[in-house]
Amino acid sequence: MTAQPIRIRMHILWLLAVLWLAGCTQPPTPTLLPDPSPTIEIEREVATLTVQNEATPTPEPKPETQDVQINIAYPKAGATLRGKVDIEGTVIHPNLKAYGIVYTTDRYHTQNSAWRLDDPIAWNVETAVTAGVLGTWHTTDYPNGSYSLLLAVYEMGVDEPLVYFVDNLTIENEITPTPTPAPVSGPTPLPFATPTGLEQYDTFALGGYLRTAEHWSAMRYAGMTWLELPVPYPHNGAGQIRTNHALGFKVLVRAFNNADMVISKTFIDDYTAWVATIAAAGADAIEVWNEPNIDRSWAGAIDPAAYTRLLCAAYEAIKEANPETYVISAAPAPTGWFKGCSATGCDDLPWLEGLYAAGAGQCMDYIGAHHNAGATSPSARSGHPADLGSTHHSWFFLPQTEVYYQTFKGTRQLFYTALGYASQEGLPAFATPFAWAKGITDAQQAAWLAEAVQLSLDSKMVRGIMIWNVDFKRYGYDPQDGYAIVRPDGSCPACVTLHEVLSQP
């Protein structure tokens, strides 16, 4: 079954690569942490789903204008797919900006279908296609079952894409028997159980970013009781929050929209109204924006006082909507690149000093922090392979924690809304900007994450850690698969080390 092209509004938080310069001789460049988006809701202005008898021919959609043609000619609704599938069709538009193809595991798409925008079949294709291949779907990478496709076509100057659906597709690849692996050390499979003894750490939050539901048990075994959830503006994520609560997880929402929202005349009013709906929907914690000390996240003049005004307004709105929701200040990009703080960018330390001076401590429960460029033991203070002579705190977990905590005079704990170590072991080589991580092994990743948690528990400076990430894939040249604690062979060494830390008497 197909449907005619219609317009919908899609709010997408795209994953942006972390740009570290390998071998640089100065403190690390600013980074914008990727905002993973396991599921995205689509708000429809007009959408009609008509189920037709399979024997009834489906008419081809008529173009909106004489110059617009958008369709998927193959596969048709009801097709069974195997192996490598070329998706054929036409995308012609006089003002074409780009098109993309995504899928959902729903047999028939609905208003609440979870389109997998984090794993597109094709995206940002800027060339028109006439009766040709729009993208290639390697179906062997996906479980057998039901799927629907969405072709989204964007035109210049218009935010709402034209879309075309193909429903009732079935992936049916031959399943090759898996040979029985040789015995390995460690618990296999990981049981769905919270480690005993965790109750003594009931004031510490451990969680992570999850792409697929199949790894919930691994998270539980590791001792993770939180999930970080990206929610696109202006949605409140109520359905996803309810689902994760039902599974026993608390939810941290990073409430971040595109940087252009900042320069809107109604920015603070719009933002505070939005986060209030997220709090009312039951979010356990909300991070107010993301890395506002760099221009990729903040349009206009970068100013700690300006961000503090947003934070305080959001704090009041969140607490009024749900007093139990924690408010976390936006983690700054950890960097010493700017040599201070100016309207074009701020290093993380002067940024936090500016927040403290502006009174931000009264408008937060915890200080947001990111750390995803570590390549040494968390307690190390020198020896980072990107700059062996540097002792800048942003390269090292414990020094960064100490600096942030001391900047607020010990009045607020940190909450790491993203912390990870990238291991190249068992994966294709990392791109040059991530060369500093090429020597990290799975064993080191596991040991360092456990040490970071242990240091947090011992020091009392850290309230929580969201691990980046559990099971993400390579995205362009960004090694999100390297940060994943579920490794290519399906094992999770970090789950074992984290379990051991949180289960100790």
pLDDT at residue 448, rounded to an integer:
98
The answer to whether 250 touches 325, Cβ cutoff 8 Å, is no
Token pair for 424: 């190249």
Write down the pLDDT at residue 116.
82
332 secondary structure, DSSP code: P
d(CA 228, CA 64): 40
So where are the chain's domains? 2-171, 198-503
Q: Are 440 and 424 in contact (CB under 8 A)?
A: yes
Residue-wise pLDDT tens digits, 157-192: 887 788 899 999 999 988 755 444 444 333 333 333
- Give residue 35's pLDDT: 40
Tell me what pLDDT residue 160 has. 78
Q: Which pLDDT score, from 0 to 100, does residue 337 have?
A: 92
Query: What's the pLDDT score for residue 143?
Result: 87
Say what the pLDDT of residue 247 is.
85
For residues 21 and 26, give the distance between their C-alpha atoms in angstroms, rounded to a whole number. 10
- Other C-beta atoms within 10 Å of 56: how many? 8
Give the sheet arrangement for strand 84-92, strand by strand.
Answer: 69-74, 84-92, 129-138
Q: State how far the Cα of 203 lies from the Cα of 486, in Å rounded to an integer.
A: 26
d(CA 278, CA 321): 9
Q: What span, in angstroms and rounded, lies between the C-alpha atoms of 136 and 149?
A: 12
Q: What is the dotted CATH code of the domain comprising 198-503?
A: 3.20.20.80
* Residue 120: closest CA among 483, 496, 475: 475
Dihedral (Cα; 290, 292, 295, 300), 10-degree rounding: 120
pLDDT at 368: 98
Mark the ranges of the chain whose per-residue pLDDT is less than 50: 1-65, 178-201
- Cβ(86)–Cβ(136) below 8 Å: yes
Q: CA 194 to CA 217: how far, in whole Å?
A: 9
Q: Exposed (0-12), middle (13-18) or buried (19+): which is 263, by Cβ within 10 Å?
A: exposed
User: Other CB atoms closer than 10 Å to residue 259's CB: what's the count?
Assistant: 18
Q: Model's pTM, two decimal places?
A: 0.65
127 DSSP 8-state letter: S
Helix (H) or strand (E) holding 489: none
DSSP string, 245-297: HHTT-EEEEEE---GGGGGSTTHHHHHHHHHHHHHHTT-SEEEESS-TTSTTT
Residue 270 and residue 237: Cα distance in Å, rounded? 17
CB 131 within 8 A of CB 91: no
